[in-house]
Amino acid sequence: MTDTPKIELRNVTKRFGSKVVLDNLSLVVPKGKSLVVIGGSGTGKSVMLKCVLGILRPEKGEIFVDGENVLKMSTSEREQTLRKFGMLFQGAALFDSLPVWQNVAFGLIQGRKMKRKEAKDVAIAKLAKVGLGPEVGELYPAELSGGMQKRVGLARAIAADPEIIFFDEPTTGLDPIMADVINDLIIDSVKDLGATALSITHDMASARKIADEIAMIYKGRIIWAGPRSEIDSSGNDYVDQFIHGRATGPIKMDVLKP
Concatenate the DSSP letters of all residues of 145-163 into one string: -HHHHHHHHHHHHHTT--S
Query: Per CB under 8 A, does 145 bind other proteins?
Result: no
Kindly tell me which of 158 and 231 has the beta carbon lying closer to other proteins.
158
Contacts 24+ apart (CB under 8 A), 248-253: 251/40, 251/218, 253/40
Phi, psi of 28, deg, nearest 5: -120, 130
Of 47-55, 132-140, 230-238, 250-258, the segment contacting other proteins by CB under 8 A is 47-55
Kindly tell me which of 52 and 231 has the beta carbon lying closer to other proteins.
52
Query: Per CB under 8 A, does 106 bind other proteins?
Result: yes
Contacting other proteins (CB under 8 A), which of 59, 69, 77, 91? 91
Kindly tell me which of 47 and 214 has the beta carbon lying closer to other proteins.
47
Contacting other proteins (CB under 8 A), which of 59, 79, 135, 138? 79
Cβ neighbours of residue 176 closer than 8 Å, sequence gap 6 or more = 205
**Dihedral (Cα; 183, 202, 63, 19), 10-degree rounding:** 160
Kindly tell me which of 44 and 239 has the beta carbon lying closer to other proteins.
44
Query: Per CB under 8 A, does 83 bind other proteins?
Result: yes
Beta bridge partners of 86: 165
Rounded distance between C-alpha atoms, residue 127 and residue 154, angstroms:
9
| Residues at the contact surface with other proteins, assessed by CB under 8 A | 50, 53-55, 79, 82-83, 85-87, 89-91, 93-96, 106-107, 110-113, 156-157, 160, 166
